[in-house]
Amino acid sequence: MILLVTASARASECAAALHEAMGEEIVVAESLSCAATQLRTKCCLAVVLDQLLLEAGPMDRNEAEIAFEQLGTATLVQVNLAISGMERLVREVRAALHRRQREEVRARYAAIGRLHSELNDTVTALLLSSELALEASGLPPAASEKLQSVHELVEKLRRQLVSASLTEASELAAGT
């Protein structure tokens, strides 16, 4: 859902253009307080805010702060609907959503990279510990077998991590 916040007489025209171009449900809020209420109750992909509402006066600025606090993960797109045509409005919203999508992908890959690094450190420590334990003399055969099994499982985990890293790298290179 995209929340369009405007008191403009062109609100329905803007909502129709956004719906047609984006294929998303468009909800119109005629004031910042209505927008804050909508944002408290619904999850929005984007909030398109008419800049004229921000310039209206001091009370509206306080309402804007309240609305901004409710944004959550929604992308804020500020436009001046008094001077923007429908094509520009759609272009601005589309560009903002594309930026958001790229940022989410980069954040996901960064988190995956950190996780891989931490897991690789742990796997390396497990491999080293199990290899040192296997080299110890006087181990009962049952304990040695169990340590060998643990070592093999950790090796398998390392191969899976390497495979996942390669898949992730190829996806990143492909731009997905």
118 CB-contact burial (10 Å; exposed 0-12 / middle 13-18 / buried 19+): exposed
pLDDT values of the chain reduced to their tens digit, one per residue, 176 residues: 999 999 999 999 999 999 999 999 999 999 888 888 888 888 899 999 998 887 766 555 567 777 788 888 889 999 999 888 999 999 999 999 999 999 988 888 888 888 888 888 999 999 999 999 999 888 899 999 999 999 999 999 988 888 877 777 677 667 65
- On the CB side of 169, how many CA atoms lie within 13 Å of its CA? 7
DSSP string, 115-138: HHHHHHHHHHHHHHHHHHHHH-TT
Torsions phi, psi for 2 (to 5 deg): -115, 130
pLDDT value at residue 172: 65
| In contact, 122 and 163? CB cutoff 8 Å | no
Measured in whole angstroms, how far is the alpha carbon of residue 65 from the centre of its chain? 23
Looking at residue 36, what is its pLDDT?
87
Could you give the C-alpha distances from 81 to 94, 95, 112, in angstroms and in order?
A: 16, 17, 40
Is pTM beyond 0.75? Reply is no
- CA–CA dist 63, 88 (Å, integer): 26
